[in-house]
Structure 1
Amino acid sequence: MGRLFRLLIVLIVLAAIAFVGYAYLGPILGADFSAPQEEIRVPVTLQSGNDS
Structure 2
Amino acid sequence: MWRIFKALLVLVVVGLIALTGYAYLADLSPPQTEVTKPVMLNAQ
TM-score range, shorter chain: 0.5 to 0.7
Structure 2 residues without counterparts, runs of 5 or longer: 38-44
RMSD over aligned Cα, in angstroms?
2.0
Summarize the alignment of residues 9-48 of structure 1 with structure 2, pairs less than 5 Å apart.
Answer: 9-26=9-26, 32-38=27-33, 39=35
Ranked by relative contact order (alpha carbons within 8 Å, sequence separation 6 or more), the top structure is 1
Number of equivalences: 37
Q: Deviations over 1:1-51 (max 9, x none)?
A: 00000000000000000000111111xxxxx3122435486xxxxxxxxxx
**Structure 1 stretches of 4+ moved >2 Å:** 35-41
Measured in 1, the distance between the counterparts of 2:2 and 2:25 equals 34
TM-score (norm 2): 0.63
TM-score, scaled to structure 1:
0.54
